[in-house]
Amino acid sequence: MSWAADPQDLAVLKGVKVTGDLGKEPTVTLPATPFTVNGFTTLLVQDGTGAPITSGEIVSVQEVAVSGADGSTLGSTWSTGAQTLPAGNSNMAADLNTVLLSAHVGARILVAVPSSTQGGTAAPTTSVYVIDVIDAYTVPTKATGEPVAPAAGLPTVTLSDSGEPSLTPVSGAAPTTLVAQPLIKGAGPAVQTGQTLTVQYTGWLWDGTKFDSSWSTGSPATFKLDTGSVIAGWVEGLTGQTIGSQVLLVIPPDKGYGANAQGTIPANSTLVFVVDILDAR
């Protein structure tokens, strides 16, 4: 079964050979190089025998990426650890959502993604991904547990009925050391460095200016809790917190982005996050 806007692209993608058992890293052989498609194209190579994937689930996947230019391997999560996709999320490509929501755990999916070299005359290139669905699971929508009275002098957090936080900043100088203040104490096990976390979060500057929020995307964020994936303040502040907790993080520049501006975040900014820890595995 397939979902592709262009039948010609689909026919090209069907020429890609994927070998190897499900649950093990596959080998990808392109029919010819350079391999190109005109648009985002997906193909369900083999459906799984597990539970059906439903909208709102977190989908754990292993993937291999191959260059259409020469067939070389661009990267593989089989050596770095599984990644996650939010099934049904509106920010994900519609074709990939469609194939995921029509498949079962254990499925193998081919995806071809074209791209162009901006500002040059190089021919468009295509990356080919083989995605194996390892698991699919649901997580709570917000932190659940016992409320904790925060220490004095910290910004005030107010929650909507859905659990989305808003922040009232405080006057005065920001802390110069990391603050990790639980606001809700969850009953789950303690988070460990290196785990993959699923969280809801909102981030503000110390003056209360909001710069980012997973709540606005329609699904929680997932990431590996290590300094290769997130800033040091998250790693240090969330390690040891329990699943189900909501944590207020006040992160000084040396544990955030330091002297480097990051998008709308100015250099040397103190960052404030409210993080709901929904899952860790």
Q: What is the pLDDT of residue 262?
A: 95
What range does the domain containing 52 cover? Answer: 2-137
Helix (H) or strand (E) holding 246: strand 246-251
How many Å separate Cα 55 from the centre of its chain?
16
- Report residue 215: phi and psi, to 5°: -60, -30
Using 50, 70 and 90 to split pLDDT, how confident is the model at 194?
very high
Instruction: Flag whether pLDDT at 5 surpasses 70.
Output: no
- Indicate the residue among 137, 170, 187 that finishes a domain: 137
* pLDDT tens digits, 210-247: 999 999 988 899 899 999 899 999 999 999 999 999 99
Q: What is the pLDDT of residue 249?
A: 98
The pairing of beta strand 156-159 with beta strand 165-168: antiparallel
193 neighbors 226 (Cβ within 8 angstroms):
yes
* pLDDT tens digits, 80-131: 888 888 898 877 888 899 999 999 999 999 999 998 544 444 556 899 999 9
* 99 and 52 within one domain: yes
* 264 and 154 within one domain: yes
- Indicate the residue among 137, 159, 187 that finishes a domain: 137
Q: What is the pLDDT of residue 6?
A: 83
* 75 and 18 within one domain: yes
- Looking at the 3D structure of the chain, how many domains does it have? 2
